Amino acid sequence: MNEQIICAGFGGQGIMLMGKFLAETGMKNGYNVTWLPSYGAEVRGGTAHSMVHISRERIASPVVSKPTTCIVMNKPSLVKFIDRIKKGGLLIVNTSMVNKVPEKKGIKIVKLPLTKLASELGNVKVANMIAVGAFIGLRKTLSLKDIQEALNRILPSKKDLISINKKAIELGYKLV
Amino acid sequence: MKKSKIQNPKSKTKRILITGNEACGEGAIQAGCRFYAGYPITPQNELTAYMSKRMDEVDGIFIQAESELAAINMVFGASVTGARALTTSSSPGISLKQEGISYLAGCELPAVIVNIMRGGPGLGNIAPSQSDYFQATKGGGHGDYHSVVLGPASCQEMFDFTRMAFDIADRYRNTVIILGDGILGQMMEPVIINPRSQIRNPKKWALTGCKNRKPNIIRSLLLKQGALEEFNRKLQKKYDLIKRNEIRFEKYRTEDAEIIIVAYGTSSRISRACVNRLRKDKIKAGLFRPISLWPFPYNALKSQDKGKTKFLVVEMSMGQMLEDVRLAIQDDKRVHFYGRTGGSVPSEEEIIGKAVSCKL
């Protein structure tokens, strides 16, 4: 397995955390992992993204130029990354923030109104975790159980947050 | 003063996902460093932030100084009393520290300085770069001096090398520079934190109050006729000793290699993957990775040369370590170069393309 993921969206949508969850879970499953954030003048207002490698092999560069999976939470990110996705790759789009998703041959596109679903769950901030659930459901490289355990490790002191995040992950997992 | 044994209270090995910046900070803590002074700058901010938290936990001293200049001079002050002291910054900030590093060298004071390099010259940008190689390895400030320079290539090495740097610094009373880059600082990887107790020799030269002993004098102003030349000759002898003892490098698939990529830090990680891909295409490629950038492993590199071997230097600069490789090989026709700069990172495809073209 050599999964190269880009998570992208507005600053504040939990883009960095989404990547960390995936990397942390990959690590606990015995994979080599790297996580690399994007920083710059673009952090506020524009797009932020994090890059994750999960691989059986030793990871050369943590920079992901051609992702196998792209999770985009807003429109500028979709425009920026859609053409970089590898053939046979996966694109998860937050349709709450993107009015029109262009057709693209050779990749699987999964459209979910993540922000809307999250506010229906009771916390708009868990849109990122629904996306993580969807990714797990589609790719099967990491298990639902493992990602939920990662939640306990990363948010140990926030019990109330853990439960809604768990719900969000399960929802994403079931939807796909 | 007696030998002191330092035990770490949280002495349990763990494997955690952390950034290179944090790994570096933890390496310093594990080395017994209890004095940090720094000034924020991207892409090393996580390091300063981490130290502000950790120093408090271990009853150390954390100072966010008013400037880089102040930070390096605070490190000077801490070091002169015998403390293990650390300052960190990124390229423009490291330029500001050069005066202080020269003074540390002039007083033979140990200190560890971390440079998480970003694009330059000037303020440049905040993306990863390797363009401070000359500054780090050839002195950087004024005077005939060298810092030991280590080039980590993973978050684990950010931890390991920083911990080791304090031992080297104390052993030779010398500055040690950890030369990382924006990628190594900001990326996260699994890191094994394995605390160990350590034996530290007393620093008899330190200024600790001279009651019941002869005063120690530490200064870099030597005006007496011939005194400065004498001091410089003594420094060179120390550097010769460091060259004998502290050369570090890594070889990968070089035994039968017809083309050897020479790279350090982030460039070496990418180059290593290129070696594997070239080998799959039946091209006999290898990687030579200098770990100690000063002292540079000239002889070890030269010993990889079978007379017709081609060398490809890969850097995130316009060609700085290239000069040391040329010095080692002594045949410029066979030493090629590929570099990206200004915050760009070379891709595997670019390096492979260059390797194939210079093998012809």
CA atoms of B297 and B148, how far apart (whole Å): 12
Rounded to the nearest angstrom, the minimum Cα separation between B3 and chain A is: 40
Rounded to the nearest angstrom, the minimum Cα separation between B74 and chain A is: 30
pLDDT at A41 over 60: no
Number of domains in chain B: 2
pLDDT tens, residue by residue, B179-191: 999 999 999 999 9
pLDDT at B1 over 50: no
Are both B130 and B262 inside the same structural domain?
no
Rounded average pLDDT over A52-76: 94
Cβ of B17 within 8 Å of Cβ of A35? The answer is yes
> Is the Cβ–Cβ distance between B261 and B274 less than 8 Å?
yes
Provide the residue ranges of all domains of chain A, joining segments of one domain with +: 2-114+139-158
Question: Which of B201, B217, B245 is the C-terminal boundary of a domain?
Answer: B245
Q: In B, which residues are within 8 Å of A153 by CB distance?
A: none
pLDDT at B254 over 70: yes
CB atoms within 10 A of CB B244: 9
> Is the bond into B295 cis (omega within 30 degrees of 0)?
yes
Paired strand residues for B189: B18
Quick one: pLDDT band at residue B8, thresholds 50, 70, 90?
low
Cβ of A35 within 8 Å of Cβ of B269? The answer is no
pLDDT at A85 over 90: yes
Average pLDDT, chain A: 90
Are both B81 and B212 inside the same structural domain?
yes
Rounded to the nearest angstrom, the minimum Cα separation between B204 and chain A is: 44
Q: Which helix (H) or strand (E) holds B114?
A: strand B111-117
pLDDT at B140: 96
What percent of chain B is modeled with pLDDT above 90? 94
pLDDT at B2 over 70: no
| Structure ipTM | 0.91
pLDDT at B9 over 90: no
CA atoms of B38 and B22, how far apart (whole Å): 14
**Which CATH number belongs to the domain containing residue B289 in this structure?**
3.40.50.920
pLDDT tens, residue by residue, B106-128: 999 999 999 999 999 999 999 99
Name the residue facing A60 among B127, B189, B273 (closest C-beta): B273
Q: Range of B256's domain?
A: 251-359
A 1-40 residues with CB < 8 A to B: 20, 23-24, 27, 32-37, 39-40
Question: Which of B213, B245, B277 is the C-terminal boundary of a domain?
Answer: B245
Look up residue A27 and give its two tokens: 């690590």
Q: In B, which residues are within 8 Å of A37 by CB distance?
A: 186
Are both B19 and B102 inside the same structural domain?
yes
Are both B290 and B143 inside the same structural domain?
no
Rounded average pLDDT over A121-149: 91
B 258-287 residues with CB < 8 A to A: 266, 269-270, 272-274
Average pLDDT, chain B: 95
Cβ-Cβ pairs closer than 8 A, A with B, add up to 53
Cβ of A33 within 8 Å of Cβ of B348? The answer is no
Q: In A, which residues are within 8 Å of B186 by CB distance?
A: 36-37, 39
What b/e string do you get for A37-48 counting C-beta neighbours within 10 Å, with b at 16 or more? bbbeeebeeebb
Are both B173 and B291 inside the same structural domain?
no
pLDDT tens, residue by residue, B55-79: 999 999 999 999 999 999 999 999 9
Cβ of A27 within 8 Å of Cβ of B348? The answer is no
pLDDT at A81: 94
pLDDT at B106: 98
CATH topology classification for A2-114+139-158: Pyruvate-ferredoxin Oxidoreductase; domain 3 (3.40.920)
pLDDT tens, residue by residue, A140-155: 888 888 888 888 888 7
Higher pLDDT, B10 or A166: A166
* Whether A60 contacts chain B with CB within 8 A: yes
- Return the closest-CA partner of residue A17 out of A26, A7, A32: A7
Q: In B, which residues are within 8 Å of A40 by CB distance?
A: 126-127
pLDDT at B273 over 80: yes
Cβ of A39 within 8 Å of Cβ of B347? The answer is no
Cβ of A20 within 8 Å of Cβ of B43? The answer is no
Are both B330 and B298 inside the same structural domain?
yes
Q: In A, which residues are within 8 Å of B344 by CB distance?
A: none
Q: In A, which residues are within 8 Å of B272 by CB distance?
A: 58, 60
pLDDT at A40: 56
**Which CATH number belongs to the domain containing residue B130 in this structure?**
3.40.50.970
Chain position carrying tokens 């200190």:
B111
Question: Which of B188, B222, B245 is the C-terminal boundary of a domain?
Answer: B245
Quick one: pLDDT band at residue A45, thresholds 50, 70, 90?
low
3-state secondary structure of B178: strand
CA atoms of A70 and A134, how far apart (whole Å): 12
CA atoms of B193 and A82, how far apart (whole Å): 39
Cβ of B189 within 8 Å of Cβ of A63? The answer is no
Are both B8 and B43 inside the same structural domain?
yes
pLDDT at B203 over 70: yes
Are both B261 and B222 inside the same structural domain?
no
Are both B61 and B83 inside the same structural domain?
yes
pLDDT at B260 over 60: yes
Rounded to the nearest angstrom, the minimum Cα separation between A52 and chain B is: 9
Look up residue B279 and give its two tokens: 């080998």
Are both B35 and B96 inside the same structural domain?
yes
Chain position carrying tokens 């992901």:
A64
